[in-house]
């Protein structure tokens, strides 16, 4: 089995669904693709790169897929889920507002750098909104070198003040198995 780590984000409503509801719907779909599905808490974060937009709601999920699963085929499934909940890459500003964004952060031992996919995600170490929830749920049994590398990256962001805009808004225990992340 291969460990898969996905970063999820939303900062734009779609069809009457709030950002938190869109994250929940995405988790419902992703839980059918990943064994031993685990979700992090939800964090509210300032937008990066293109800052003239609403704050994001971010989280990380992880689970396992069979060794035969190819990351490119998995990416296609992710894009289908994003489109189902309003994402249209052809009409959006790069790094701009989006109803749902799902990034493959890690996929087993794969290392890919091409125009379609970059694994590990090329910006994972500069994103506190990925590192904080990932380290919250990464199993203790995870590769010791991966854990140390991610912890070191987060420490660097903390030292540089890059974690101050990451605010936990919902605990993972409150999210698991609920119909609405807001608790209502």
| CATH code, domain carrying 150 | 3.30.70.560
In a domain, 184, yes or no: no
Number of other residues whose CB lies within 10 A of the CB of residue 80: 10
Percentage of the chain beyond pLDDT 90 is 48
Whether 77 is catalytic: no
**Among candidate residues 50, 137, 146, the one with its CA nearest the CA of residue 101:** 50
Active site (annotated) includes residue 143: no
Cβ(78)–Cβ(98) below 8 Å: no
**Count of structural domains, the chain:** 1
- Coil vs helix vs strand at 66: coil
Given the residues 55, 67, 77, 87, the one annotated as active site = 87
For the chain, counts of helices (H) and of strands (E): 5, 8
Q: Verify whether residue 147 is a known catalytic residue.
A: no
Quick check: is 35 in a domain?
yes
Q: Is residue 86 part of a domain?
A: yes
pLDDT at 141 over 60: no
71-100 mean pLDDT: 89
- In this structure, are residues 75 and 101 in contact, taking their beta carbons and an 8 Å threshold? no
Mean pLDDT lowest for which of 7-11, 67-71, 97-101, 120-124?
120-124
Which of 107, 103, 88 has its CA nearest to residue 1? Answer: 107
Considering the domain boundaries, does residue 125 fall inside one? Answer: yes
Out of 101, 127, 147, 152, the active site residue is 101
**How far, in whole angstroms, is CA 65 from its chain's centroid?**
17
What is the model's pTM? 0.85
Reading the block at residue 112, the tokens are 């890919």
**Structural domain span for residue 62:** 2-175
Query: Is residue 181 situated within a structural domain?
Result: no
Residue 41 resides in a domain: yes
Of 52, 77, 94, 98, which is the active-site residue?
Answer: 98
Query: In the structure encoding, which two tokens stand for residue 171, read together?
Result: 């605990």
Integer Cα distance of 57 and 141 in angstroms: 28
In the annotation, is 98 catalytic? yes
172 pLDDT band (50/70/90 cuts)? low
Q: Is residue 182 part of a domain?
A: no
User: Does residue 55 form part of some domain?
Assistant: yes
Torsion of CA 115, 121, 126, 130, to 10 degrees: 130
């Amino acid at each position: 089995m291969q460990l898969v780590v996905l970063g999820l984000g939303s900062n734009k409503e779609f069809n009457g669904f709030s950002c938190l509801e869109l994250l929940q719907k995405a988790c419902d779909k992703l839980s059918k693709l990943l064994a031993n599905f685990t979700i992090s808490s939800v964090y509210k974060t300032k937008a990066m790169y293109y800052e003239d937009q609403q704050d994001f709601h971010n989280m990380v999920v992880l689970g396992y897929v069979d060794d035969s699963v190819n990351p490119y085929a998995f990416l296609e499934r992710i894009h289908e889920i994003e489109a189902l909940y309003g994402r249209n890459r052809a009409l959006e500003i790069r790094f701009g507002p989006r109803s749902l964004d799902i990034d493959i952060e890690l996929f087993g031992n794969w290392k890919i750098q091409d125009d379609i996919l970059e694994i590990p995600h090329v910006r994972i170490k500069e994103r506190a909104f990925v590192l904080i929830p990932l380290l919250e749920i990464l199993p203790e049994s995870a590769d010791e070198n991966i854990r140390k590398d991610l912890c070191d990256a987060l420490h660097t962001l903390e030292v540089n003040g890059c974690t101050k805009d990451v605010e936990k808004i919902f605990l993972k225990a409150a999210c698991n198995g609920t119909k609405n992340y807001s608790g209502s």
